[in-house]
Amino acid sequence: MIFLKVLLVIILFGLPMVPTFWAIQDIPKRKFLSPRRKIVWFITVSTLPFIGAVAYIFFERKKTEPEETGINGIRDRYEKAKDSGIKLETEEVG
């Protein structure tokens, strides 16, 4: 009987946390329209665990795309900076 009570508590309180933890890990890995929007969603998901995570998954995640990581991400950021007219200092390899 106690096992069923413990299982019920885990299901009622643990299961709704799954989308929250997933969203908390997903938000930093995605490109948002602005850094401010990313921060707002992170705070929303953190302070309103289940509701904020479900809202992020259904409404905001569709508007984002994965961030490039590794050498491709560095190359993309370099190209964007170069295209925007930012003066870049590069080392000469001799």
For residue 4, is pLDDT > 60? yes
Contacts 24+ apart (CB under 8 A), 16-22: 16/49, 16/50, 17/49, 17/50, 19/50, 19/53, 19/54, 19/57, 20/45, 20/49, 20/50, 20/52, 20/53, 22/53
Name the pTM for this structure: 0.65
Sequence letter at residue 27:
I
* Mean pLDDT, range 4-11, rounded to an integer: 90
* Spatial contact of 27 and 53, defined as CB atoms under 8 Å apart: no
Query: Is 13 within 8 Å of 5 (Cβ atoms)?
Result: no
Work out the mean pLDDT of the chain and round it to a whole number: 85
